[in-house]
Amino acid sequence: MTLGGARLLAAWRSGDAKLYEEPQRWRAPLQHAERLAPGSPEPRRLLVTGYLATWQALTAAEREVGRQLVREAFRDTETLNQLLPAWAAVASSRGELEAVLPAEPGPYERLQQAAAGRSDWAGFCAARERWMPLTIGGLRERLAEAEHRLELGDVQGGRAELVATIDGAPPDSRTAPLFSSAVESLPPGQLGSSTNALSAWLAWALPLWQLGGEPLPPAVMARVASLSPELPPEQAAMAALAGGDLERAEIWERRADRLWSDEWAPYATAKAEALLARGEVDEAAASLAEIHRSYQTRWPYLRARERLAGARSEGLVARPESLAASSWGAEQWLYRGGEASAELVAGQPAAAVGVRVDVAPDAGAVVELGWDGRGLGCFPVRAGTVMRLRVPVASGPHRLTWRTLAGGRTAPGAVELLAAGPA
């Protein structure tokens, strides 16, 4: 192996034509080393490196041998991580590129990274489109393994697989059933190490719940609220409310003592709704009176205020329907970390949504958009363009999200409901 590797490296560094004209000088020692140590990845890794370095000079038959070598070598994770960018550079098509890859999400994560480094946004999105179904498939397998271990009495092993499922599931309506099953099956105990994953799921689910959806079952919301003492208290309190546990929610509320603040406004609104459902009208009014003024033009607040007025037989108040529109300005977007979200109340049904790209690097970037909790995919963006999203829009409240995946800072602009038309 040392001889073959030395000859390969020397010829490559010096630009010696023997690298192409006499490939057996480096191939033969590496093939011999591979036969002597079939379990070692190093000889095959060097052999594949040579094939990729000389790919343009190979005959069709040699390329077929090279593809088989690449396929076998990529079963080793380290080899895949090192050589996947080189393989992506020589593959003649996306089909050829993907034909040798293991059916796992990991290679497609690496392809996204490589594409981002080249500002190849179409390639990035193509890799991401393959990554998501493979991620879902891997989560299903992991969940099945966890349930199998628990059935055999391996509580520790089953719990570890469930925790890995929770940590690895990206928040989305397509993965929500898997996340819910993992949470429901989890043996007793807290998950401080998974706080970030749990918080991300609540950040995804709670706004949808406030708009009248059920992104996660109530029992799952309640369980998530109790799994980590390190969750942001306003999230834990609201998750407890979504799970039907007002008493536990109020424990978090009293500990924080910040019901008046903007970050607690969604919880205070949801609490008012819960109190109204219990017939505690005065307490609901007191909760709404605490809500930060920045939240008082939002759909959940206006709905709670309307219900309070109905319970008190009061006169006209601003109704949530007053927010209905068919277009919205860039000021509608709210930013949290690297994600922007817009709460849109559609005044009429529509077949699509148009989103203007206000900010993007000159070289472009890629973003991921979501509608009512479901990812719509990966999109290359350039400033000043308008994206057309084919989504069925019903009258009423909706949630649109925007997240930059790679390329630099981006920002969405105006949003508009669109009639049916070309994608």
Q: Concatenated DSSP letters for 254-274?
A: HHH--TTSGGGHHHHHHHHHH
Q: Is residue 141 part of a domain?
A: no
Does residue 54 lie within any of the structural domains? yes
Q: Which of 50, 76, 102 is the last residue of a domain?
A: 102
Last residue of a domain, one of 48, 70, 102: 102
Angle between helices 218-227 and 233-242 in degrees, nearest 10: 150
pLDDT recorded at residue 51: 81
Last residue of a domain, one of 51, 67, 102: 102
CB contact at 8 A, 274 and 307: no
Which candidate, 222, 225, 172, 166, places its Cα nearest to that of 197?
Answer: 166
What is the pLDDT at residue 3? 60
Per the domain annotation, does 6 fall within a domain? yes
The answer as to whether 401 is a domain residue is yes
Per-residue pLDDT of the chain (423 residues), as tens digits, is: 566 556 666 666 767 676 767 778 777 777 877 787 777 888 888 888 888 888 888 899 989 999 999 999 998 889 999 999 899 888 888 889 889 999 999 999 999 998 999 999 999 999 999 999 999 999 999 999 999 999 999 999 999 999 999 999 999 999 999 999 999 999 988 787 789 999 999 999 999 999 999 999 999 999 999 998 899 999 999 999 999 999 999 999 999 999 999 999 999 999 999 999 999 999 999 999 999 999 999 999 999 999 999 999 887 678 898 999 999 999 999 998 889 999 999 999 999 999 999 999 999 999 999 999 999 999 999 999 999 999 999 999 999 999 999 999 999 999 999 986 554
- Domain-embedded: residue 345: yes
Q: Is residue 64 part of a domain?
A: yes
Task: Give dist(CA 410, CA 393) in Å, integer.
Answer: 25
- Whether 332 maps to a domain, the answer reads yes
The reported pLDDT for the residue numbered 31 is: 80
Q: Does a structural domain hold residue 381?
A: yes
Q: Please report the pLDDT score of residue 191 as a whole number.
A: 84
Identify the domain containing residue 344 by its residue range. 327-418
Do the strands 339-346 and 396-406 form a parallel or antiparallel pair, or are they unpaired? antiparallel
| Domains: count for the chain | 2
**What does pTM read for this prediction?**
0.88
Q: What CATH number did the domain enclosing 375 receive?
A: 2.60.120.260
